Amino acid sequence: MNQPAQQQEVPGTQRAMDPVPDCGEASYQGSGKLTDKVAVITGGDSGIGRAVAIAYAREGADVVISYLSEDEDAEDTARLVAEAGRKALVVSGDISQPDHCRDIVARTVREFGRVDVLVSNAAYQMSHTDIQDVTDGEWQHTFATNVSAMFYLVKAALPHMRPGSSIIGSTSVNSDMPSPDLAPYAATKAAVANFCASLAQMLGPRGIRVNSVAPGPIWTPLIPSTMPPEKVEQFGDDTPLGRPGQPAELAGAYVLLASDEGSYMSGARIAVTGGRPIL
């Protein structure tokens, strides 16, 4: 069944979506896989980030929820983390700014003393059918948000990560099968996948694992806030499974990569694409 045609202003909010995405609020059951770990999640207020925050908290982790300006969504996620019996630290601000990335880590360390898991998930995209419509500023902002922010966060977090820690980047099926309407976004997601592969080799001797998850079309606020309504209505129809994925359907991959069950997984990229292949 198609979702209704709809549109929001960037960055979009989960509360305004129809239907509201399933982030595992009523379904995810933890089993102690991340007991007493400290996880930083960018874009943790909604969509995939919220699903990961819920799963991590129910697996026993304290969670830092980084987000731009969607206060009500972030408060909802923090409440769900607290209901799981874990601490939530909520940090708003623009991760395209290097100083803010460093501040996220500094606040995490002041509150919890370390970083065990870093999930670089927040991203910006906008749909354009003509490259002439992509301004210099939008191109720079897309790379600053999607790629440079991960660089700043990793550099800031590494001094506070111990052997056994994990870094996870959110890439995309677009890194291998780029949509022409999302050219800047697709280019950044290929860069994230490549950066994760480099870091896995660089940080392996320190006992720090680096992996990425490549989502396909997932129903998050990014979709109605960056695509025209007719595209939103058809979103996910062209996958082999014939529908968009829900954020909750990615949570298990992020848990695996953060947990000791993934202790020999580094340099991997997990595809959660509804059947679309990645290279």
Residue with tokens 């003393």: 113
Residue 247 lies in a domain: yes
Residue 3 lies in a domain: no
Residue 24 lies in a domain: no
Residue 20 lies in a domain: no
Residue 103: domain span: 38-272
Paired tokens of 214: 């490549």
Q: Which parts of the chain sit beneath pLDDT 50?
A: none
Q: What are phi and psi of 25, to 5 degrees?
A: -55, -40
Residue 158 lies in a domain: yes
Residue 25 lies in a domain: no
Residue 19 lies in a domain: no
Considering its fold, how many domains does the chain have in total? Answer: 1
What is the DSSP track for the chain?
Answer: -PPPP----TT--STT-SSPP--STTT----STTTT-EEEEETTTSHHHHHHHHHHHHTT-EEEEEESS-HHHHHHHHHHHHHTT--EEEEES-TTSHHHHHHHHHHHHHHHS--SEEEE--------SSGGGS-HHHHHHHHIIIIIHHHHHHHHHGGG--TT-EEEEE--GGGTS--GGGHHHHHHHHHHHHHHHHHHHHHGGGT-EEEEEEE-SB-STHHHHHS-HHHHHHTTTTSTTSSPBPGGGGHHHHHHHHSGGGTT--S-EEEESTT----
What are the pLDDT digits (tens) for 178-234? Answer: 999 999 999 999 999 999 999 999 999 999 999 999 999 999 998 999 899 999 999
Residue 23 lies in a domain: no
- Average pLDDT of the chain is 96
- At residue 226, the pLDDT reads 87
Question: Which one from 67, 185, 254, 264 is the annotated catalytic residue?
Answer: 185
pTM above 0.75, yes or no: yes
- At residue 222, the pLDDT reads 87
CATH number of the CATH domain containing 95: 3.40.50.720
Residue with tokens 């910006």: 124
- At residue 1, the pLDDT reads 56
185 is catalytic: yes
What are the pLDDT digits (tens) for 51-76? Answer: 999 999 999 999 999 999 999 999 99
